[in-house]
């Protein structure tokens, strides 16, 4: 399975009936494609939308309808639009049950760096800082390494987006939870060993007594 699809499928299993969920740009937007149809999940975008649907099929995109990253989206029946002030009122008011974000780095304290590499041009912070602090649950969905270098570190070396806010990390290699003791590995991808995951993780992983195969 494509690594990004594997990650998106696993993240989708974390969403609960009735949740209001924000999906960050890139990989996180794929999560909407794999949500159980029996669940009532409302997707939110910080540019002023509630009720986003799956990613549009290739060739059927409506470029007048886009998320905060400028990517085409679909809307479900009953979806609504509003201004940015209202949107950030929803986020800062604690009304988003979960946010799913990509990241450049995450560390064992739950710190996250996902908005800038110094010296490189970037679009800006966007709503990430507000989402990390305002959402009830923060899930990082990202590939485990970048050009072979670990992205899960003892301490982020890039500028923080938020401090001590990440709850869970899902990569193509496993599922990890941030605990007061460090990063707890709870699920492992089939065919991958704990030693292989640790070899590409700078932070020292705590192995769950109930470690199981990663769901997909």
Catalytic residue numbers, as ranges: 46
75 CB contacts (<8 Å, ≥6 apart)? 49, 51, 52, 53, 65
d(CA 4, CA 17): 24
d(CA 79, CA 200): 41
Strand, coil or helix: 158: coil
- For residue 113, give the H/E element and its range: strand 112-113
d(CA 15, CA 99): 10
Backbone angles phi, psi at 153, to 5 degrees: -120, 170
């Amino acid at each position: 399975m494509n690594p990004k699809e594997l990650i998106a499928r696993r993240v989708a299993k974390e969403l609960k009936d009735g949740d209001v969920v924000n999906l960050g740009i890139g990989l996180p937007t794929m999560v909407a494609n794999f949500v159980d149809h029996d669940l009532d999940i409302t997707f939110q975008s910080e540019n002023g939308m509630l009720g986003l649907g799956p990613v549009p099929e290739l060739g059927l995109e409506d470029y007048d309808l886009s998320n905060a990253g400028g990517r085409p989206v679909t809307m479900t029946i009953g979806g609504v639009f509003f201004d940015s002030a209202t949107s950030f009122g929803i986020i800062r008011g604690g009304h988003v049950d979960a946010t799913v974000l990509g990241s450049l780095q995450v560390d064992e304290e739950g710190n996250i760096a996902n908005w800038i590499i110094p010296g490189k041009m970037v679009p800006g912070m966007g709503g990430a800082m507000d989402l990390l602090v305002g959402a009830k649950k923060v899930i990082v969905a990202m590939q485990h390494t970048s050009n072979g270098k670990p992205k899960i570190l003892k301490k982020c070396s890039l500028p923080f987006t938020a401090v001590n806010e990440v709850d869970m990390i899902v990569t193509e290699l496993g599922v990890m939870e941030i605990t007061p003791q460090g990063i707890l590995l709870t699920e492992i991808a089939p065919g991958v060993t704990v030693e292989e995951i640790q070899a590409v993780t700078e932070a020292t992983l705590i192995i769950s007594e109930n470690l199981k195969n990663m769901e997909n």
